Structure 1
Amino acid sequence: MAEQYIDKEHLKLIRAKLWDICKSKEITLEDVQDRTGFSYSQVYRIIRGTQNMSVSGLIAVCKALEIQPREVFDFEIVIPKHLPLRKNRKA
């Protein structure tokens, strides 16, 4: 079985943005816990942790923080050069 892909660099950016939003709005992790129904450890793993997070968990935290997901994803990524699409490759 292949190892799960985890983009640690961008997860770190996302978590930093979530934490900055928490601090600026004075919303504690316990408040996020109350608003999401997640356990404290789940909230901590999403906002402060190092493991991969689910999209659903991230959306729930965005709702708890009263923000749109685009506020968390406001950064650029490097797009690699890819092979041509399969339909455009010569046999």
Structure 2
Amino acid sequence: MPKQYIDTNSLEKIREKLWAISQTRGITLEDIQDRTEFSYSQVYRIVRGKNNVSVSHLIAVCKALEVQPLAIFDFKIEIPKFSELRKELKSKK
């Protein structure tokens, strides 16, 4: 079974933004817990932890923080240079 892919760099950027927004707005982890109905440990793992997180959980936390997801995903990632697409390879044959 292949290892689960986790982009730790991007997750760290997302968590930094979540934490900064919660601090700026004065919304505690307990408030997020109340607003999402997640357990405190789930909220902690999403906002402060190291685990991978689902998109659905991120959306719920965005709602709890009263912020659009764009504010959380407003960062750049490195895009690797990929090989040609399969359709491009087929057209060369």
TM over 0.5: yes
| Larger Rg belongs to | 2
Name 2:13's counterpart in structure 1: 13
Q: What SS does structure 2 have at the residue aligned with 1:58?
A: helix
Name 2:63's counterpart in structure 1: 63
Amino acid at match of 2:77: I
Amino acid at match of 2:24: S
Shift of 1:83: 1.1
Q: Deviations over 1:22-56 (max 9, x none)?
A: 00000000000000010000000000000100000
Shift of 1:78: 1.0
TM-score using structure 2 length: 0.95
TM-align CA RMSD: 0.8
Give the whole-Å Cα distance in 2 for the aligned partners of 1:79 and 1:10.
12
Structure 1 stretches of 4+ moved >6 Å: none
Flag structure 2 segments of 5+ consecutive residues without an equivalent.
none
Flag structure 1 segments of 5+ consecutive residues without an equivalent.
none
The number of equivalent residue pairs is 91
